[in-house]
Amino acid sequence: MSNAPLAERLRPQSLEEYIGQSHLVGQGGVIRRFIESGNIPSFILWGPPGVGKTTLARLVALALGRQMFTLSAIASGVKEVREVIEAAKKSRFFGSGGAPILFIDEIHRFNKAQQDSLLGAVEQGVVVLIGATTENPSFEVISPLLSRCQVYVLKAMENSELQTLLDRAITTDRVLVERGVRVEQTGALFEFSGGDARKLLNILDIMAGATEGELVINDQRVVDCLQQNIALYDKNGEQHYDVISAFIKSVRGSAPDAAIYYLARMLAGGEDPKFIARRLVILASEDIGLANPNALLLANACFDAVHKIGMPEARIPLAEATIYLANSPKSNSAYMAINEALSAVERDTTNRPVPLHLRNAPTKLMDKLGYGQGYKYAHDYEGHWVEQEFMPAGLEGRRFYEPQTKREVDATAWREALRNAKMN
């Protein structure tokens, strides 16, 4: 095992050794409850790379004593899926306990025919399907299969969790213990890891291989080591995430030349153009938003065009959309507003009732109880606006949306002008 990568040497062997995802595997977590009950449904683990999706699937199978079959969506076709299903049927017949687990890594890369071939086995309980994906299953998994699976979201690791992983690595891994690792600084290590446990361990591996004698971890050593060992773009490796990150940040930073360069890097590396097009749609909503609402329309048109024409022609609408978004004015006000509102809703355990004047009154009893009474129909008033409170009790006047561009400020000023005119 000393020749195995550090990430493999430190792979957890039980839930107690698993770091992170406490909302799923901590006390009361849904996956822990499944294991404790002995009944496990089919589900899909959706999250960024290096957060423990594959490890969690293995630990579920181990804890339940189920046989586990593994397929990679990159290397497997319909033939391999059918062979595994037949093997699972025989295993179920001769074995004991529940249905074996079929784990499919990068399930978003399965095409429709491959996913269709899974349906019968999942529906009949021949296998329990556990899929892992870094992509939104709503876009990449067919509806019939998605309806038979729960989707659980895994989160990038917090720095405190990365610290726990680092401490475990340097105190329990025999190779690192023998090297006498000394930690002076972790800022660069955690920043380059980006919440990815596997990347953190790979960086440690690179530093151990490139350093003689005592291994000292500080910001300068991490930067120097990574610059000397940088890899070419690999759509299936870590550089995939670094280059798409650079692409997104270049568009966000209004740097069209850098954005088009990273787009070319991805296309030359064989990246799925639909993956890039989805990121452009997200960029148009998150980073441009209300500063230029047309950006979302163009990004959606690009996404549709990429679906219809494919490569190599898809490079042209991708380039057009990339340059347009990079040159657009930027605002993340809508992104910030929904995040702030969701945070407020999650923190608020009172489940505040909707004000009576805003409620629907479909029955005479509800009308008698005052539902809907007092509501002012905006179109009956000058400027199609009238002063009234829409927030529930206790949140009156609370603001989630803060305008950031002239276009947004002007709209807010229009409402303020109407309010002042009516008050005067």
pTM flag (> 0.85): no
Residues near 21 by beta carbon (within 8 Å), at least 6 away in sequence: 29, 51, 52, 56, 154, 155
Lowest mean pLDDT among 67-76, 127-136, 243-252, 412-421: 412-421
CB burial class (10 A; 0-12, 13-18, 19+) of residue 50? buried
Lowest mean pLDDT among 175-189, 294-308, 325-339, 354-368: 354-368
Residues 250, 262 contacting (CB under 8 angstroms):
yes
CA separation for the pair 32, 40 (Å, rounded): 10
CA separation for the pair 229, 209 (Å, rounded): 11
**Strand pairing class (43-46; 128-133):** parallel
The whole-number average pLDDT for the span 2-10 is 81
Residues 373, 357 contacting (CB under 8 angstroms):
yes
Q: Where are the strands (E) in 218-288, listed by range?
A: none
> Chain-centre distance of CA 159, in angstroms?
18
Q: Is the dihedral of CA 303, 309, 310, 312 positive or negative?
A: negative
Lowest mean pLDDT among 154-163, 247-256, 347-356: 347-356
The whole-number average pLDDT for the span 62-77 is 85
Q: What is the pLDDT of residue 414?
A: 63
CA separation for the pair 123, 138 (Å, rounded): 19
Q: What is the pLDDT of residue 94?
A: 55
The token duo for 347 is 């923190």
CA separation for the pair 22, 32 (Å, rounded): 10
Residue 72 pairs in a beta bridge with: 105
Residue 57 has pLDDT above 70, yes or no: yes
pLDDT above 70 coverage of the chain, percent: 88
Residue 233 has pLDDT above 50, yes or no: no
Q: 6 versus 374: which is more confidently predicted?
A: 6
The whole-number average pLDDT for the span 347-365 is 74
What's the pLDDT tens digit per position in 135-184?
888 878 888 999 999 999 999 899 999 999 999 999 999 888 888 888 99
Identity of the residue numbered 299: A
Q: What is the pLDDT of residue 93?
A: 58
What's the pLDDT tens digit per position in 319-331?
999 999 999 999 9
Residue 43 pairs in a beta bridge with: 130, 150
> Which residue in the block uniquely carries the two structure tokens 């909707």?
354
> Which residue in the block uniquely carries the two structure tokens 């568009």?
251
Residue 418 has pLDDT above 70, yes or no: no
pLDDT band at residue 232 using 50, 70 and 90 as cut-offs: very low
Identity of the residue numbered 186: T
